[in-house]
Structure 1
Amino acid sequence: MLYGSECWAVKQQQLHKVNVAEMRMLRWMCGKTRKDRIRNIEIQRQVGVAPIDTKIREGRLR
C-alpha cells in the first residue's frame, strides 16, 4: 500500500483517502464493521500497527 511513498508529495486529502483504505483493511482483518462502533485507535492496537501517516513520514526520513 505504501510502495513508493518515500517520494510522494502527500496532500491532506490524499492522506485521508489512504487512511480510510487502511482502516477498511484492518477492520476486515479483525472481522469488525463500522456498525460495531470501535474506534480506529482500538483497531490499530488490536492489530498492532502504527497509523499510516506515521509510516509515510518514517519512509520519507530514510
Structure 2
Amino acid sequence: MAQATPAVVAELAAKGADVTAVGGDVADEDDMRAAFDALEAVFGGVDVVVNTAGVTRSRATC
C-alpha cells in the first residue's frame, strides 16, 4: 500500500468519512477476495469499485 495511505485515511476520517484502506495484488484472485472480505466485514458490502490499477502482461518480442 502506498506510503500516503495512512495519512489520507486519517484525513478523511477526521472529516467524518467512514473509510478504511485495503491492499493487495490485483492480479492475484486470492488477494482480491481477501480485500473484499475485509471491506464487507467493515462496511457490510461493497457498492462501488474504482479500478485505478494498471496491470500489464509482458511478452517477448522476436
TM range (shorter): 0.3 to 0.5
Which of structures 1 and 2 has the bigger CA Rg?
2
Higher RCO (CA-CA < 8 Å; seq separation 6+): 1
Q: Which structure shows the bigger proportion of residues in helix conformation?
A: 1
